[in-house]
Every structure is written in structure tokens, then in C-alpha cells.
């Protein structure tokens, strides 16, 4: 699984989970700082134990928004299986501007609040991978 992160975010960490929410540790997660890319690679233990019956794996990538973030950004990812590329959906992340009134003063401040949904990661960094096998 590969996610080329948008320039508006900084990589923090990543983990792979199975469909029951258990962390999968039979593989390697790498971050290439120059390419700004996160890659998860399965190891032989993982590959030999996969039932290949439609199970789902989720790669959760934690990021921080940086100063390049504007009002929106998009992201997608892909998986490579036997040199066959499978693209994920493209997700758009929007920000929202909010005005905050500071107590005990006459001043108000306008602060950009970054709304990313219910969890603090870019949702497109969460790639759903469906393993498809033969019955």
C-alpha cells in the first residue's frame, strides 16, 4: 500500500489494522521524506497466512496539517499486488473559518479551524484494501 501524501500535511506515524481493529505487525511501514510517501509492505509471514476471502485492511496514517494548508486539499493512495495497481478513492479535505470572541475584551480574532471529521487524520490517508482470493 502506498500513499503519496499531499504537501499540506506532515507525516507523524502509520499503522495497519485488520477488519477487527487489531494492529497487523507482519509487514514494514516506511516513510520516504524526499518523496513524501508512506509505504506498507507485507512480509512472507503475512502473505502466507492470509485467507484471501475478501478480508479488509486499513492503513491509518497520522499527519499534522502544516502552513501550506489552504481551504482544501485532496489525497488518494494505491496498492500494488503482483505489479497490478489498484487506486483508492480520492478524498477532499476542507477547512472552515470561524470567528472567536475573546472574553473580557472588545477584540475578536479570526482563526482558521481545521475540520477533518471525527478523527485527527486525513481520511484519505486511511486506505481500505480489500484482499481478493480464489475460493
- CATH at residue 17: 2.60.40.740
Predicted pLDDT of residue 99: 55
Taking the C-alpha atoms of residue 104 and residue 80, their distance in angstroms, rounded to an integer, is 57
pLDDT tens sequence for the chain (135 residues) = 999 999 988 999 999 999 999 999 999 999 999 999 999 999 999 888 888 788 888 899 999 888 787 778 888 888 888 888 989 888 888 776 555 555 544 433 333 333 333 333 333 344 444 444 444
The reply to whether 98 falls in a domain is no
Number of domains in the chain: 1
Distance (Å) of CA 77 to CA 38, 88, 105: 9, 5, 47
Tell me, yes or no, whether 17 lies in a domain.
yes
Structural domain for 32, as ranges: 2-93+120-130
The answer to whether position 103 is within a domain reads no
Residue 52 inside a domain? The answer is yes
**Domain assignment of residue 112, yes or no:** no
Would 125 be classed as within a structural domain? Answer: yes
Q: How far apart are the first and last CA of the chain?
A: 24
Amino acid at each position: 500500500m502506498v500513499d503519496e501524501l499531499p504537501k499540506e500535511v506532515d507525516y507523524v506515524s502509520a499503522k495497519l489494522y485488520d477488519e477487527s481493529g487489531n494492529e497487523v505487525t507482519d509487514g514494514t511501514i516506511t516513510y520516504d521524506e524526499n518523496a513524501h510517501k508512506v509505504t506498507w509492505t507485507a512480509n512472507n509471514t503475512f502473505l502466507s497466512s492470509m485467507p484471501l476471502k475478501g478480508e479488509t485492511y486499513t492503513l491509518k496514517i497520522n499527519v499534522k496539517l502544516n502552513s501550506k494548508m489552504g481551504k482544501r486539499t485532496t489525497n488518494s493512495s494505491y496498492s500494488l499486488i503482483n505489479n497490478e495497481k489498484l487506486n483508492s478513492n480520492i478524498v477532499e479535505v476542507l477547512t472552515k473559518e470561524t470567528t472567536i470572541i475573546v472574553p473580557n475584551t472588545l477584540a475578536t480574532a479570526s482563526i482558521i479551524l481545521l475540520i477533518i471529521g471525527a478523527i485527527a487524520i486525513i481520511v484519505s490517508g486511511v486506505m481500505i484494501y480489500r484482499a481478493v482470493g480464489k475460493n
